[in-house]
Amino acid sequence: VQFTDLSNDAETWEWDFENDGTIDSYEQNPIHIYQDTGYYTVKLSISGAGGIIQDYGIRNNYIHVKNLTSISNKTKENIIIVYPAPSKNHLTIESKSDITGISIFDLNGLLIEAFYPPNFIEQNKLIALSFYHYKSGVYLIKIETAQNSHLKKIVINH
């Protein structure tokens, strides 16, 4: 499951994906793989300057995992990582599978820009994109591989 934090001015994040008191991630926008079926409560605590806790949220029974079979390597190969978040001028996309296309949309669904091989700056599994010409704001990025299509939210903050 890809989690996205949209808080402002946070400097640290503490995610507890199973509400068991154990911090599972310190990333702003982590990915967590649940191993068992069931309902999961998710807790996020954020801190600002000086480590002072600004806010926390608990979502009871927020994640429902059902009909779980084993997590195969094929599933892990489909994971796509996009960073940094938020982005200032550049964005990096990592994938275990070759990326066949990238499209950027505004929040109204209007296509802003599209990239296809051989226009990628680097190899098809690690791609760097420049956003100098974009206005600050929230966009959607669609990342296509031979197996799947992934839609993620990105924040550009110059």
pLDDT for the residue 126: 80
pLDDT for the residue 73: 45
Q: Specify the pTM.
A: 0.51
pLDDT averaged over every residue in the chain:
81
pLDDT band at 120 (very low <50, low <70, confident <90, very high): low
Instruction: Give the amino acid at 146.
Output: A
Pairing assessment for the beta strands 90-95 and 80-83 based on DSSP bridges:
antiparallel
How does pLDDT run across 3-33, given as a tens digit for each residue?
Answer: 888 777 788 888 898 888 888 888 888 888 7
